[in-house]
Structure 1
Amino acid sequence: MFDDEDLASIREGREEWEEETLSPVLDRFGERKESFDTDTGGQDVDRLYTPADVDDLDYEDDLGFPGEDPYTRGVYSTGYRGRLWTMRQYAGFGTAAETNERFRYLIDQGSSGLSMAFDLPTQMGYDSDATMAAGEVGKSGVAIDTLADMETVFDGIPLDEVSTSMTINAPASVLLAMYIAVGDKQGVDREELRGTIQNDLLKEYVARNTYIYPPEPSMRIITDIFEFCAEETPKFNTISISGYHIREAGSTAAQEVAFTLGNGIEYVEAALDAGLDVDEFAPQLSFFFNAHNNVFEEAAKFRAARRLWASIMEERFDAEKEKSKQLKFHTQTAGSTLTAQQIENNVVRVAYQAMAAVLGGTQSLHTNGKDEALALPTEKSVRTALRTQQILAHESGVADTIDPLAGSYYVESLTDDVEEEARGILDDVEEKGGMLPAIEEQWVQRQIQDVAYERQREQEEGERTIVGVNEFEVDDEPEVDIQEVTEEDQQRQLDSLAEVKAERDDDAVEDALAALRGAAEGDDNLLPYIVDAVKAYATVGEICNVLRDVFGEYHPGI
């Protein structure tokens, strides 16, 4: 972007500045720290950035224009000037009726998308009356046992007018089937259903551990979903390849990009091995990233991820459709940065993280409630989190022009650095045989754990400041109202489940489950059988237990 003569002059000018202007000030006052790095310590931050730091940047090849390859500047030609990002708020707690009430409240407050949290038993494929579910029903999200629960959650909410994201993985096929069944009952054309299921099992093996089945059958279920949805629900994102939890586990920004896109590569290869065409399913792939505190690192991370994915899809998989090469992603602010101390500070953290996501061009955004370090968010804190997005959209000006940080010497240099480091990590993954072998031998997990350990050590020894935790502390903390799920809430869910079981047609349930077992033992696509089972009011646990019997359960290292 600058000719050699200009760059030589800039380098010479910097040397003069360092000697004549900077050096006397450093000698007298020094700097706050010996060295500076980004939020996760992934990238060193230089004192000053000039055109010499981006001297090999080629505008057309490295940046381009919004909506055009390599998509560094965004996947849409109008950015947020045409349409704002989808504003989601994570909701789901206790019973289906309580979640329906919260969803209706969020829609009334201006939320443009729903984001559904499930309790731990549902995530693990257990019913609320299972021994393993005792004490956990409705606590980390809504308890969903049967189609009746899903019908209650979306009572009065037309599925052709909302986009719904479901944070569900191992039983994703079952919850997707329930969503489709609710749409069928509402009379909504399946082609009009919009939303996302997380459905990212590789990430579960790495960072979160709510898996059920071993990797091979898990990949089969995922590719069955790809195939089914490409035909039946083309507007529904079949997977949200998730770096969020990888970052929550302690990774750097570059590791988050590399391991997430590495998982994406595995899913694409599995779908191709199953005989699917890349340009048929790739447009329905979506991604899910974390937004941490360092505004510039996060914006650069999102830009680097888009550029890297476009090159992977074109060069490695010969994707021809532009939509197949576009990395579209949802962002959630970082739960791991929220503190129980001085929780009002979390409002500020969330606001900066949200701004970083928007500056990076996210398609969808969830902002955490200030109290989520303690419990599920209250109605008041959810409203504040949503207002954070609305103020960002309508008052801050960051949505008025496309990719406003483009051309910043620092941001462009940082974008290059994140991409280069991510490519290096992906090369290491390839040497391991791909993400699946690297995960199975715990290599990926160790890389993340090493970083997490070092960051924790820095915090405990005061090398990294966490406001209100290891610096700027207060003696007295005010009491905080928190959302609670009571024993009475849990009992209502158990009573509801018992009622459904008593009233359903048991023969229809048995027939549907037997048909599903036969499909699992063969090679039929599982989704039509799961849809039939949920419409017969088979439970999440009953369906997952059939698949457990056929596929087995995953136990690391065994």
Structure 2
Amino acid sequence: MFEKEKLSQLKASRENWEEKVLNKSLSKGPESKSEFKTGSGDKIERLYTPEDVADIDYEAEIGYPGQYPFTRGYQPTMYRGKNWTMRMYAGFATAEESNERYKYLVNQGSTGLSVAFDLPTQIGYDSDHSLAQGEVGKVGVPIDTLKDMEILFDGIPLDKVSTSMTINAPAAVLLAMYIAVAEKQGVSADKLRGTIQNDILKEYIARGTYIFPTEPSMRLITNIFEYCSKDVPKWNTISISGYHIREAGSTAAQEVGFTLADGIAYVEAAINAGLDVDTFAPRLSFFFNAHNDLLEEVAKFRAARRLWAKIMKERFGAKNEKSMMLKFHTQTAGCTLTAQQPDNNIIRVAMQALAAVLGGTQSLHTNSRDEALALPTQDSVTIALRTQQIIASETGVTNTVDPLAGSYYIEAKTKEIEDKAMEYINKIDEVGGAPKAIDLGYIQKEITDSAYQYQMEIESLDRIVVGVNKYQVEEGAPQGLLKVDPIVGEMQKKKIDDVKAMRNNEAVKEKLEALRKACEGTDNVMPFILAAVKEYASLGEICGVMREVFGEYEQAVLL
């Protein structure tokens, strides 16, 4: 970016500054720390100058928005043309109550819905299963049959909204239910817009709501890719998630490296299943965390976008530019929320949301101040939504594209994260790819080590968390938290009984048997799941068939 002669002059002037200005200042008083680090623990230099970006080729590595390698964003005008989708993650108690919350959020200006499912739903059990006891409706909405999905989206026209569903192992079933509800509304599948998370590899790595072993899980994912490319073309068929990897304790570079390694595995699986890369890759999307270190996070998003573009073009030979575009949703960091002084979380979330916007996110969810204690109340979720609206309407950061580009620090940090992430991808390639690295426990161990280091820094006061290890105050018991009535579990059991009493049970049996045969063979299972869903077969019944055919995954033991 700079001529050698000019860099030589800059080096001399910097050395002169250090000798005559900096050293004089340091002689009067030292800096507050012996070493400054990013949120990920990487060293931060005192000053960044053109010397730190001398090796960066502007056009090849930074370039222009809407143009390869998309470092500055995948849209030429970014937020000057359209703001990001403002999604508020919601779902609790019953489908009826969750439906009310969705309608409230839409009325308050939310531009997309994001469905949280309860734990039994996430692992493919109906609410009347013994393992579901005490968990129904607690961390999301329970969806047992198509009837629940009909209630959940009652009065919400599915051709008018974009819906994100945070579901992984049983993603095919919930997507089928969504398609069936749309049909009942008179909306054809080709009009539907939204995303299913559908990222099982990160469940093995960081989250744990898996059901099936890796091979059949990958088959289900590629079946969805194939089905949607033909029948639901506007749907994002996977949201490859670094969010939970970061929540488990990874660094920023690990979040990028491990997430893109998972993305590589999905692309390879789809190609091996006979799909053309440019057929399915444009509908891939990603999901990242927005952590506390604002500038590091901005650089992280830019690095991820650039690295994915290079991977898709150079490794997979993608020809369609849309196949090279890393489109991503961001959620503010749940792991940074504190139960102590919960109002402080409003400020944390605002800074994290700002990082996501400065980094060029396409969609954003802001956590609520009370989520370290309970599911968010209506008041707290309103503040979280208003945070996004204020950033969009009042701060001015949307007025120009990629406003931090050209910062010596931002560009140097973007390159550093890209290089470190690529090192992790290369290591994962060496052991045989992401599924193999997961089975070996390599990725899990790297994250565990980083999480341990982070916690040690908090306990030693090397890392300050306001209200937790510094600036504490006496606090009373929290008031006004949202509580899910335990009777919800019994209500769901009755709903299941009522559905089974009204449905055609012979037809359900027939559709489940057809699904079993499809699972045992090589057919795409999506049409068979959709057929079973339309007969009101339950989530647990459908997943039960697949459990019998595919088996269940056993997590690797880390030594």
TM-score with structure 1 setting the length: 0.99
Equivalent position of 1:415 in the other structure: 414
- What amino acid sits opposite 1:112 in the alignment? T
- Deviation of 1:478 after TM superposition, in Å, equals 5.7
For each residue in 1:97-145, what CA deviation from the matched residue of structure 2 results, as whole angstroms up to 9, or x when unmatched? 0010000000000000000000000001000000010000000000000
Does residue 1:474 correspond to 2:473, yes or no? yes
Partner of 1:327: 326
Separation of aligned partners in 2, 1:357 and 1:217:
34
> Secondary structure of 1:388's match?
helix
| Matched residue SS, 1:195 | strand
Look up the equivalent residue of 1:534 and give its one-letter code. V
| Correspondences of 1:73-112 after superposition (within 5 Å) | 73-112=72-111
CA distance in structure 2 between the aligned counterparts of 1:482 and 1:163, rounded to whole angstroms: 29
Q: Following TM superposition, by how much is the alpha carbon of 1:476 offset from its aligned partner in structure 2, in angstroms?
A: 2.3
CA distance in 2, matches of 1:97, 1:365: 25
The Cα shift of 1:338 comes to 0.2
Instruction: Look up the SS of the partner of 2:86 in the other structure.
Output: strand
The Cα of 1:27 is off from its aligned counterpart by: 2.1
Match runs of 1:99-498 below 5 Å:
99-477=98-476, 479-498=478-497
Q: Deviations over 1:152-203 (max 9, x none)?
A: 0000000000000000000000000000001111111211100000000000
1:229-255 Cα shifts (integer Å, max 9, x gaps): 000111100000000000000000000
Q: Partner of 2:35 in structure 1?
A: 35
- How far apart in 1 are the matches of 2:366 and 2:503? 40
Residue type matched to 1:23 in 2?
N
Write the deviation string for residues 312-369 of structure 1: whole angstroms up to 9, x where unpaired. 0000000000000000000000000000000000000000000000000000000000
In the alignment, the residues of structure 1 paired with residue 478 and residue 297 of structure 2 have an alpha-carbon distance, to the nearest angstrom, of: 33
Give aligned-pair identity as a percent: 62
Deviations 1:415-456 (A, max 9, x none): 010001111111111111111111001011000000100110
Question: SS state of the match for residue 429, structure 2?
Answer: helix
> What SS class does the counterpart of residue 447 from structure 2 fall into?
helix
Alpha-carbon distance in structure 2 between the residues aligned to 1:168 and 1:396: 34
Give me the whole-angstrom Cα distance separating, in 2, the residues matched to 1:404 and 1:477.
Answer: 42
3-state SS, counterpart of residue 88 of structure 1: strand
Moved more, 512-521 or 485-494: 485-494
Alignment match, 1:55: 54
AA paired with 2:316?
Answer: F
Question: Where do 4+ consecutive residues of structure 1 move more than 4 Å?
Answer: none
- SS for the counterpart of 2:102 is helix
Name the counterpart of 1:15. 15
Displacement after TM superposition at 1:59 (Å):
1.1
CA distance in 2, matches of 1:425, 1:51: 28
* Equivalence for 1:531: 530
Distance in 1, matches of 2:409 and 2:490, equals: 56
The DSSP-based 3-state class of the residue aligned with 1:75 is coil
Letter in 1 for 2:356: A
Residue 555 of structure 2 is matched in structure 1 by: 556
For the 8 Å contact 2:194–2:235, the answer to whether it is kept is yes
Please give the per-residue CA displacement for 1:76-109, whole angstroms capped at 9, x wherever unaligned: 0111000100000000001100010000000000
Cα displacement (A) at 1:401: 0.6
**Secondary structure of residue in 2 paired with 1:471:** coil
3-state SS of the aligned residue for 1:286?
strand
> For the Cα contact (< 8 Å) 1:54–1:413, is it kept in 2?
yes
Residue type at the aligned position of 1:10: L
- Write the deviation string for residues 23-82 of structure 1: whole angstroms up to 9, x where unpaired: 1211221011010111121x2111011111101111110111100000000000111000
Alpha-carbon separation, structure 2, partners of 1:296 and 1:336: 18
Distance 1:425 1:496 in 2: 48
Letter in 1 for 2:10: I
How many equivalent pairs are there?
557
Q: Which moved more, 1:333-342 or 1:494-503?
A: 494-503
Distance apart, 1:493 and its partner CA? 1.7
Report the AA paired with residue 164 of structure 2. S
SS of 1:428 mapped into structure 2: helix
Partner-residue secondary structure (3-state), 2:17:
helix
Q: How does 1:502-513 map to 2 (within 5 A)?
A: 502-513=501-512
Letter in 2 for 1:401: T
RMSD over equivalenced CA pairs, Å: 0.8
Structure 1 contact 95–490 (Cα < 8 Å) conserved: no
Tell me: CA distance 1:46–1:557, structure 2 relative to 1, closer, same or farther (3 Å): closer
Counterpart Cα distance in 2 of 1:82 and 1:366: 20
Partner SS for 2:163: strand
The question of whether the paired residues in 1 share the 8 Å contact of 2:72 and 2:405 is answered with: yes
Does structure 2 conserve the Cα–Cα contact (< 8 Å) formed by 1:170 and 1:212? yes
Counterparts of 1:241 and 1:297, CA distance in 2: 21
Contact 1:342-1:477 within 8 A present in 2 as well: no
Q: Could you tell me how far 1:490 is from its partner in structure 2?
A: 2.3
One-letter amino acid of the structure 1 residue matched with residue 233 of structure 2: P
Unaligned runs of 5+ residues in structure 2 are none
Is this contact kept in 1: 2:518–2:524, CA < 8 A?
yes
1:71 alignment partner in structure 2:
70
Report SS of the residue matched to 1:492: helix
Quote the Cα distance in structure 1 between the aligned partners of 2:60 and 2:293.
27
Say whether 1:2 aligns with 2:9: no
